[in-house]
Each structure stands twice: as C-alpha cells, then as structure tokens.
C-alpha cells in the first residue's frame, strides 16, 4: 500500500510540488503498475547472467586540443532563464545564521 504521504515523499525527492488530490490519484496508478510489474518475482535470474545490453567495447578518445574557452557560452547563456554578467543566476542557498 502506497500512502499519500509516501507519494508526497517521492515527489519531494523528485523535486515536484504535488498537490494532495494528484498524490492520491498517482498513488493509485503506481500501485496498479507495481502490481503488474511484480510478476517478475516469478523469474529466477541466474547469478552469472551477462547483463550487458550491447557488445561491450570501451570507447576511448585521445586528449586533444579543447575548444577555446567561452566559445559556446553566449549560446548556452541565451537559453538560461536568468543570467547576470555572463553567469547563470540562481537564488542563494546559504543564509546568515541558519
């Protein structure tokens, strides 16, 4: 049973501000989906099974000349919701005395 509080906790972990009515609705959905996927309990997975999904090859890249500093900055900053003096602007996370 997934309680409304459990869902609110998951939402907090996923950084979403879920209203109560939606938490109840999504809690029900999640229970149904988890009930469906629980059929996997029936499957025995051998310990030595190869779990790679594609032929495994390590991909190396030579260290080369990096692009000039700032080459993409203007394009990327243009996409940011708030900027100041060539920086992305965010609210402060530390406050005095707390």
Partner 1 sequence: MALDLEKMTIASARAALAGGEISARELTEAYLTKAKAVNDNLHCYLELFADCLDQADEMDRSGVARSDKPLAGIPLAVKDNILIKGRQASAGSRMLANYQAPYEATVITKLKEAGAIFVGRTNMDEFAMGSSTETSAFGPTRNPHDQSRVPGGSSGGSAAAVAAGAALAALGSDTGGSIRQPAGFCGVVGLKPTYGAVSRYGLMAMASSLDQIGPISQTVLDAEVIFRTMVGRDDLDSTTADYPSPAKKTGRTIGIPEGFLAAGLDPAVNDNFRQTVKDLTAAGCDIREIELPHIKYALASYYIIMPAEVSSNLARFDGVKYGLKVDGDNLLADYLKTRQAGFGTEVRRRILLGTYVLSAGYYDAYYAKAAGVRGLIRRDYEEAFASGIDAVLTPTAPTPAFPLGEKTADPLQMYLEDIFTVPANLAGLPAMAVPSGKTEAGLPLSVQFIAPHFREDTLFDLGRLVEDITANQEKK
Residues that bind partner 1 (CB under 8 A): 2, 7, 10-18, 22, 26, 29-30, 32-34, 36-41, 43, 45, 49-55, 57, 59, 61, 72, 75-76, 78-82, 88, 90-93
Question: With respect to partner 1, which residue has the nearer C-beta, 69 or 92?
Answer: 92
Q: How far is CA 19 from CA 11, 35, 45, 98, in A?
A: 10, 24, 39, 28
Task: Report d(CA 98, CA 60) in Å as an integer.
Answer: 46
Q: Minimum CB separation from partner 1 for residue 57, in Å?
A: 7
Going by C-beta distance under 8 Å and a sequence separation of 6 or more, which residues neighbour residue 89? 80, 82, 83
Q: Minimum CB separation from partner 1 for residue 90, in Å?
A: 6
């Amino acid at each position: 049973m997934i309680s409304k509080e459990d869902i609110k906790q998951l939402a907090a972990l996923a950084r979403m501000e879920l209203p109560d009515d939606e938490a109840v609705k999504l809690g029900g959905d999640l229970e149904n989906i988890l009930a469906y996927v629980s059929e996997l309990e029936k499957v025995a997975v051998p310990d030595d099974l190869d779990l790679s999904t594609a032929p495994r090859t390590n991909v190396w890249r030579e260290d080369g000349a990096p692009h000039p500093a700032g080459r993409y900055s203007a394009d990327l900053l243009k996409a940011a919701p708030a900027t100041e003096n060539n920086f992305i602007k965010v609210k402060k996370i530390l406050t005095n005395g707390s």
